[in-house]
Structures are given as structure tokens and as C-alpha cells.
A = this chain, B = another copy of it.
């Protein structure tokens, strides 16, 4: 077995300058990923693009994987907020539509980045912290699903996982096909989701 890498940020930047440096590094990492893919994603390139030294990068992240993990975390932040907002809508159908819209919007905003982070997320041992985040999303979905009539034989858990997979699969694929029309994609994903749930 290989040793599990440290994925927690190394130091919380106390000074304003340091926080800004972290932000710059993360954005540089995102751009490198988008421009050169996983193969071209290395710490020296990120540091150079960020206009800082490698040393600075390692002041804030204990290793490459921790940088990736932070990027995944940052990337999911907005998504989770939009999802939570959508889940609060009173009508279940509207809530689901809103959650789909959040996923679609998130993916189409930076499709390449989203796809690569998905891949990396499945590779990294993100630990409790990320599990919590995922669980949070899962819970939101479960709450909404509890308000619809699920078809016989489907548990909320399984249905949640499937919907997750359907939405991610469709938006990833749309992203890789170069789609940019969010409205159209939204409709199709709704077809699949509501069809799956028998709410068509």
C-alpha cells in the first residue's frame, strides 16, 4: 500500500497577503488543469502560472494532492450553496428542477475543470471532511425525494445515487461535447430525472 497523502491545507493564512496568495494559487491550478489536463498539472507549472515560487505553494499545501483537494473543495462550494437554496423550494418538482439547474450551471461554467475534478475526486482519499460534504448533498436530495412518491422498489438512497449519476453523466458528457446551451441541457436532464422518478 502507498501511504495516504496529507490533504489538509498546511497553514491557514493569517495575513491578508497570504490569503490572496492562496486564492491566486488555486485559480492558477484551475487554469493549468483546464489548459493542459491532468498530465500537464504539476506544481512547478502551477506556481509559475500563479506568479509565485514553488516554495510558497508548499507553504500552504503540504503536497500536490492537497492542492487538488482544495480545488475540489472550492469548486463544490458554490454548487452546494445553490443546491441547498433549491432544496428549500416548497414544491418538490421545483426543488428538483432547481437542483438540476445548479448542477447544469456548475458544469457548463467550467466544463473541463469540472470533469477533471470529478476524476481526481474519485482517486483521492478525501476523508471525513469531503464525505460530509457529499453526505450533505445526499441529504438534501433525500429530503426532496421524501416529498415525492417514489416508484415501488426504489429506496431514497438508491434513487439519490442514481439521480446523482444521471445528472453528472449527462452534464459531463454535454461538457465534453462542447454544449453551451444550458436551457436545452436543463430540459433533457429533467426528462431523464422526472422520467426516472415516473413524474413525467
A interface list, Cβ under 8 A from B: 2-3, 37-39, 115, 119, 122-123, 151, 153-154, 158, 161-162, 164-170, 172-174, 176-177, 187-188, 191-192, 194-198, 200
Closest residue of chain B to A159 (Cβ to Cβ) is B188
Closest residue of chain B to A199 (Cβ to Cβ) is B195
The distance in angstroms between the C-alpha atoms of A153 and B122, with both chains bound, is 35
Distance of A166 from chain B, by nearest CB (Å): 5
Taking a contact as CB atoms under 8 Å apart, the answer to whether A169 and B165 are in contact is yes
The distance in angstroms between the C-alpha atoms of A177 and B195, with both chains bound, is 23
The distance in angstroms between the C-alpha atoms of A75 and B200, with both chains bound, is 36
30 residue pairs from A and B, CB less than 8 Å apart: A3-B3, A38-B123, A39-B123, A115-B122, A153-B187, A158-B188, A161-B174, A162-B173, A162-B188, A162-B192, A165-B169, A165-B172, A165-B173, A165-B174, A166-B166, A166-B169, A166-B192, A167-B169, A168-B173, A169-B172, A191-B195, A191-B198, A192-B192, A192-B195, A192-B196, A195-B195, A195-B196, A195-B197, A195-B198, A198-B200
